[in-house]
């Protein structure tokens, strides 16, 4: 089938610059050497200030992924049972006709809201991530999806305090003297920031990691503080107690740029170090010592990312931590303050309206939170039921919480599932039709990094393999096949990129399509020495950093920072904890990118078999020896896995890697069988880490 509007010129020979589009903060820029139309080598761009010529262990052999014999290269139709993963090749024409017939018949019989898009950030390229797909589903009037699985809760929490989620340039951490990596595993998940942290360390900075687990990052930090999961708000409030009581706060900054200090002072009375110690499982002395160090060594910076938001009170945790830099006036210093996602800047600078066309969306149409997929697909009372689901950039059968329900839903014969993918993932195994998706080596895109202030253009180095297409082309073809005619559904890839860059924002001055074609990447043009809140400038209603938030009060939340234990935690539900006494944290793996690469033998071998890590005390109580096969279980699910007895975890805490495909795990099973799909307080995330389990030897 001929492409409708996107065909690119790719060179037969030469070197082409592109950018890794994985959902990772680093967004590395690479160079692909092409010979006879085939990509021969791929290496990090030596001139890019963040990549500096080095990719990560998983992406170094990216071309193996591109040319993997397991790539989906043609449209496929299911021939086996759902979940079995048996397909036959069909033509694009036939697949599109059959899919559009089914969708059109569903619309006629049940209404368009019986169709559900399901996508996430499997590609961070803006075209693949959220462009023609969003326009297509809006114009179709399909059910809407709240995509809050990553980042939204953290942003929303920080915004409640600051008015927006902006922070300092992560590269400015090199000026810091005290760096708190709070609930983030930098060496595994944000590797290219490590160089900056190391530079600060060489200049005398102290590196603190706050994480219940002794991660690789914690293992090399100067100070590892390990609170009970979900209790960081209590830690931050305990720190504020010490800082206020010992007069270590910045009185001038507080007076000029914050709101509600007196109320905060009253609130922190409940969090004297001995009380905070009971809540967090830390010692009162450690809380005091940490508070004093944080308040007196400057510049002091806090780096947060995502991990900590996966809790019921995730937004409140981030909102509370965001009070700290205001209290000590850390925002004044270059290299002081807080830093999280650069998307807070891209949201301003780029023309995302032109990209996603929110004006086409009808907000009265029902909207489901993606964390609730299992519930949505199995709810018999839903009217209309979800009849068809179109999945792309995402592997919900593995990464969505409460997986048994997700799979039960996917198994339903009445559900028609279409998956646009590079591989037959656990989700694609349930598909009625699978369409082949290109990798970033094969398509044009633009990628703003969420970990740094750089944007890159991804030029295609080679022609699409087989009959694979970019997501944009898939939605053009589907729209065409469904007789949809709005011209915005057929914009070319180049046009979309031009539009995204067209907002006229000063931070994008001179950064246009031609510039990116020529240079490959650009740094957001923030003023030299940028300190976002050095002189206030918060965008809350009061214009101040709000220790007290009237907006939160009006939304029914506590207007002040507060610690509340999660419902599913030992403190929140002692009865449940009597049955399932261990808390489970499921984290990212070094050689996988979420669930991507689990199917690649090289990365799987490097990673090693999945293990459950538990503390020697908990192992002893259950008669578990290192290397035993154990069962991990709760009321939502159970599976078997090899045990590793280690003090990397605290007593009472266990951890497993989150993204193993159950079909590839040596004993089957996958972490999200056990996880909690409770929604976060605000921001629409999920409480993955508020999960109680027990572990037992096999009967």
> By the criterion CB under 5 A, which residues form the site for Mo ion?
150
Q: Write down the least CB distance from residue 445 to ligand MGD, Å.
A: 8
471 binds, among ligand MGD, Mo ion, none (CB under 5 to 8 A by kind): ligand MGD
Residue 150 or 197: which CB sits closer to Mo ion? Answer: 150
590 binds, among Mo ion, ligand MGD, none (CB under 5 to 8 A by kind): ligand MGD
276 binds, among Mo ion, ligand MGD, none (CB under 5 to 8 A by kind): none
Q: Write down the least CB distance from residue 149 to Mo ion, Å.
A: 7
Residue 166 or 443: which CB sits closer to ligand MGD? Answer: 443
Residue 138 or 190: which CB sits closer to Mo ion? Answer: 190
Check binding of 493 to ligand MGD (CB under 6 A): no
**Residue whose C-beta lies closest to Mo ion:** 150
Which of 114, 143, 595, 662 touches ligand MGD (CB under 6 A)?
595
Site string for ligand MGD, 340-379 (x = CB under 6 A): ----------------------------------------
Q: Please state the φ and ψ torsions of residue 523, each to the nearest 5 degrees.
A: -95, 135
Check binding of 566 to ligand MGD (CB under 6 A): no
Gap between the Cα atoms of 22 and 626, Å rounded: 35
Which of 205, 244, 305, 377 touches ligand MGD (CB under 6 A)?
305
> Interacting stretch for ligand MGD, rule CB under 6 A, among 69-77, 162-170, 546-554, 583-591?
583-591
Check binding of 308 to ligand MGD (CB under 6 A): yes
592 binds, among Mo ion, ligand MGD, none (CB under 5 to 8 A by kind): ligand MGD
Gap between the Cα atoms of 441 and 444, Å rounded: 8
Gap between the Cα atoms of 28 and 32, Å rounded: 13
**Distance of CA 245 to CAs 252, 254, 264, Å?**
16, 15, 12
Would you call 220 exposed, middle or buried from its count of C-beta atoms within 10 A (0-12, 13-18, 19+)?
Answer: middle
Owner of token pair 């053009």: 476
Q: Please state the φ and ψ torsions of residue 638, each to the nearest 5 degrees.
A: -160, 155
Diameter of the chain measured on Cα atoms:
73
Are 100 and 127 in contact, with CB atoms under 8 Å apart?
Answer: no
437 binds, among Mo ion, ligand MGD, none (CB under 5 to 8 A by kind): ligand MGD
Q: Write down the least CB distance from residue 610 to ligand MGD, Å.
A: 13
Cα 268 off chain centre by? 32
- Can you read off the two tokens belonging to residue 352? 């995302």
Gap between the Cα atoms of 589 and 610, Å rounded: 10
Q: Please report, as residue ranges, which positions from 139 to 178 form the binding site for ligand MGD (by CB under 6 A).
A: 149-150
Which conformational region is residue 27 in: left (phi greater than 0), alpha (psi within -120 to 50 degrees), or beta?
Answer: left
613 binds, among ligand MGD, Mo ion, none (CB under 5 to 8 A by kind): none
Owner of token pair 């030299």: 528
Gap between the Cα atoms of 163 and 543, Å rounded: 8
Site string for ligand MGD, 651-680 (x = CB under 6 A): -------xx-----------xx--x-----
Which of 44, 117, 230, 637 touches ligand MGD (CB under 6 A)?
230
Residue 150 or 653: which CB sits closer to Mo ion? Answer: 150
Which of 592, 639, 660, 682 touches ligand MGD (CB under 6 A)?
592
The count of other CB atoms within 10 Å of the CB of residue 310 is 30
- Can you read off the two tokens belonging to residue 664? 């590839």
341 binds, among Mo ion, ligand MGD, none (CB under 5 to 8 A by kind): none
**Distance of CA 698 to CAs 233, 585, 655, Å?**
38, 22, 18
Residue 511 or 653: which CB sits closer to ligand MGD? Answer: 653
Check binding of 594 to ligand MGD (CB under 6 A): yes
Q: Write down the least CB distance from residue 255 to ligand MGD, Å.
A: 31
Q: Please state the φ and ψ torsions of residue 37, each to the nearest 5 degrees.
A: 75, 5
296: enclosing H helix or E strand? helix 284-296
3-state helix, strand, coil in the chain (%, to 5): 35, 20, 45
Q: Please report, as residue ranges, which positions from 260 to 289 form the binding site for ligand MGD (by CB under 6 A).
A: none
DSSP string computed for 628-676: -EEEEE-SS-EEEEEEEE-TTS-TTEEEEES---TTTSTT---GGGT--
Contacts of 8 (CB under 8 A, 6+ apart): 443, 444, 460, 493
Q: Write down the least CB distance from residue 148 to Mo ion, Å.
A: 11
Which of 232, 250, 312, 499 touches ligand MGD (CB under 6 A)?
232
Peptide bond into 112 cis (omega under 30): no
**Residue whose C-beta lies closest to ligand MGD:** 307
Site string for ligand MGD, 417-446 (x = CB under 6 A): ---xxxx-x-----------x---------
Q: Write down the least CB distance from residue 514 to ligand MGD, Å.
A: 25
Residue 305 or 455: which CB sits closer to ligand MGD? Answer: 305
Please, what sign has the CA dihedral across residues 146, 149, 150, 153? positive
Applying CB under 6 A, which residues contact ligand MGD? Answer: 23-24, 120-123, 128, 149-150, 182-185, 188-189, 210-213, 215, 227, 229-230, 232, 305-308, 310-311, 392-395, 399, 420-423, 425, 437, 471, 585-590, 592-596, 658-659, 671-672, 675, 688-689
């Amino acid at each position: 089938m001929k492409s409708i509007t996107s065909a690119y010129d790719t060179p037969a020979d030469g070197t082409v610059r592109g950018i890794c589009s994985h959902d990772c903060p680093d967004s590395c820029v690479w160079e692909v050497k092409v010979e006879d139309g085939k990509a021969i080598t791929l290496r990090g761009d030596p001139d890019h200030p963040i990549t500096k010529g080095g990719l990560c262990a998983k992406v170094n052999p990216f071309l193996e992924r591109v040319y993997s014999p397991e790539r989906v290269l043609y449209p496929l139709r299911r021939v086996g049972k759902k979940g079995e993963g048996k397909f036959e090749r069909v033509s694009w024409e036939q697949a599109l006709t059959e899919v559009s017939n089914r969708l059109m018949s569903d619309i006629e019989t049940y209404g368009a809201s019986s169709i559900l898009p399901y996508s996430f950030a499997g590609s961070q390229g803006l075209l693949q991530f959220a462009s023609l797909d969003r326009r297509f589903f809006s114009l179709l009037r399909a059910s809407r999806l709240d995509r809050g699985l990553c980042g939204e809760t953290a942003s929303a929490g920080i915004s409640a305090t600051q008015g927006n989620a902006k922070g300092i340039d992560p590269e400015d951490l090199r000026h810091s003297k005290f760096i708190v990596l709070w609930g983030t595993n930098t060496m595994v998940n944000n590797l290219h920031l490590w160089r900056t942290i190391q530079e600060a360390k060489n200049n005398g900075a102290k590196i603190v990691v706050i994480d219940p687990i002794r991660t690789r990052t914690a293992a090399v930090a100067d100070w590892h503080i390990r609170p009970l999961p979900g209790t960081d708000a209590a830690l931050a409030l305990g720190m504020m107690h010490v800082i206020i009581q010992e007069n270590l706060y910045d009185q001038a900054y507080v007076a000029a740029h914050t709101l509600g200090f007196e109320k905060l002072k009253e609130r922190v009375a409940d969090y004297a170090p001995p009380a905070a110690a009971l809540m967090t499982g830390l010692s009162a002395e450690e809380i005091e010592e940490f508070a004093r160090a944080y308040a007196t060594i400057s510049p002091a910076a806090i780096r947060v990312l995502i991990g900590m938001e996966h809790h019921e009170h995730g937004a409140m945790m981030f909102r509370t931590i965001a009070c700290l830099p205001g209290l000590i006036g850390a925002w004044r210093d270059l290299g002081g303050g807080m830093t999280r996602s650069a998307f807070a800047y891209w949201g301003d600078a780029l023309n995302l309206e032109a990209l996603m066309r929110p004006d086409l969306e009808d907000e009265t149409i029902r909207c489901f939170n993606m964390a609730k997929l299992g519930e949505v697909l199995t709810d018999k009372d839903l009217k209309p039921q979800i009849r068809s689901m179109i999945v792309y950039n995402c592997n919900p059968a593995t990464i969505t919480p409460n997986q048994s329900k997700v799979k039960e839903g996917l198994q339903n014969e009445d559900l028609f599932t279409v998956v646009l993918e590079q591989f037959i993932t656990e989700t694609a195994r349930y598909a009625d039709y699978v369409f082949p998706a290109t990798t970033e080596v094969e398509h044009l895109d633009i990628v703003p990094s969420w970990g740094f202030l750089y944007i890159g253009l991804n030029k295609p180095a080679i022609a699409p393999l087989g009959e694979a297409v970019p997501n944009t082309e898939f939605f053009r073809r589907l729209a065409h096949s469904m007789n949809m005619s709005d011209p915005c559904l057929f914009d070319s890839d180049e046009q979309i990129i031009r539009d995204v860059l067209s907002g006229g924002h000063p931070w994008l001055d001179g950064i246009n399509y031609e510039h990116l074609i020529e240079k490959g990447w650009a740094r957001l043009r923030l003023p030299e020495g940028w300190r976002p809140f050095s002189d206030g400038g918060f965008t809350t209603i009061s214009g101040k950093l709000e220790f007290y938030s009237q907006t939160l009060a009006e939304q029914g939340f506590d207007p002040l920072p507060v610690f509340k234990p999660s419902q599913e935690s030992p403190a929140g539900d002692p009865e449940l904890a009597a049955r399932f006494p261990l808390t489970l944290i499921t984290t990212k793996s070094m050689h996988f990118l979420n669930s991507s690469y689990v199917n690649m033998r090289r990365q799987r071998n490097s990673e090693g078999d999945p293990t459950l890590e538990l503390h020697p005390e908990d192992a002893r109580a259950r008669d578990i020896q290192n290397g035993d096969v154990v069962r991990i279980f709760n009321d939502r699910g159970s599976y078997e896995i090899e045990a590793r007895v280690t003090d990397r975890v605290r007593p009472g805490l266990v951890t497993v890697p989150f993204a193993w495909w159950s079909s590839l795990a040596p004993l089957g099973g996958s972490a999200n069988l056990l996880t909690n799909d409770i929604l976060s307080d605000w921001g629409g995330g999920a409480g993955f880490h508020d999960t109680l389990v027990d572990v037992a030897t096999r009967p």
